[in-house]
Amino acid sequence: MPELTKTQKGLQLIATLCVERCSQLLSKMLKTGARVELENIYYGDMTDISKRIMNEKQAEIVATFIDLVGDAPFKFLFYTYLKDTFTITDLILQRPVGTTTEYDAYTASAIQELGNILASACTNILSRDFCINLKPSPPIVIKDFLSTVFQEYIMSIASEKDELLIMESTFITYKQNLECRMFILPLTSSEEVLQLMMEQHFDE
């Protein structure tokens, strides 16, 4: 894979700040500690990324798609496995764990709210710390298998360029051992803005 450029190294810093804040928010909303299990930024083409996802557990997930629109647009994806959404729903609604046993409007709403709050946290960091004005679009909730959801997530970007830069994070809650994953993908039009940001905020 190509060596990361200065702009991409800047994205590593952005990703770290976003992950730290999102970990705090997850812990607060779910009322349990959440550790960062994986924090990664990498290049890959459509084929490589598809193979990587296909090698993971192909269970049903519930995902939230959000476009971060503005000066440097990004695509945001948050998801968790279907079985974990039941527990997350009970924790957010402050019900006894085990109350939710099937996917319903409450489950979809819980994941939508969680994804929206995390995406908003990322936009706030970009705006506050790097003067990049963004706002999240209304979230879209999808329930499907991981490979199907991820293909849809990256398809619009893959049509613009061969290689994709992806920021990936995995959170695990301490008490219930729930797995939540977050991806942030900068659009092609973001590169010039991010390069300017790097020149303004960081030394060569």
- Residue-wise pLDDT tens digits, 22-56: 888 888 888 888 877 767 777 677 677 767 776 66
- The predicted structure's pLDDT at residue 160: 63
Residues of the chain scoring pLDDT < 70: 1-9, 38, 43, 46, 50, 54-57, 156, 158-163, 188, 191, 195, 197-204
Please name the helix (run of DSSP H) or strand (run of DSSP E) that holds residue 153, with its range, or none.
Answer: helix 146-158
- The predicted structure's pLDDT at residue 4: 57
| Cα angle, residue 153 at apex, residues 77 and 107 outer, rounded to 5° | 50
- Asked if residues 13 and 184 have their Cβ atoms less than 8 Å apart, the reply is no
**57 burial via Cβ count (<10 Å: 0-12, 13-18, 19+):** exposed
Return the beta strands (E) in 98-162 as ranges: 134-136, 140-145
Give the residue from 91, 82, 92 showing the smallest Cα distance to 113.
Answer: 92
- The predicted structure's pLDDT at residue 190: 72
Per the listing, tokens 């812990």 go with: 27
- The predicted structure's pLDDT at residue 137: 92
- Asked if residues 87 and 185 have their Cβ atoms less than 8 Å apart, the reply is no
- The predicted structure's pLDDT at residue 1: 47
Q: What CATH homologous superfamily does 6-197 map to?
A: CheC-like (3.40.1550.10)
Structure tokens given for 63:
């995902």
- The predicted structure's pLDDT at residue 84: 94
- The predicted structure's pLDDT at residue 168: 83
- The predicted structure's pLDDT at residue 108: 96
Instruction: Name, in order, each residue with C-beta under 8 angstroms of 35's C-beta and a sequence gap of 6 or more.
Output: 23, 171, 172, 174
Per-residue pLDDT tens digits for 144-169: 998 888 888 877 676 666 667 778 88
Per the listing, tokens 């960062």 go with: 36
* Whole-prediction pTM: 0.84
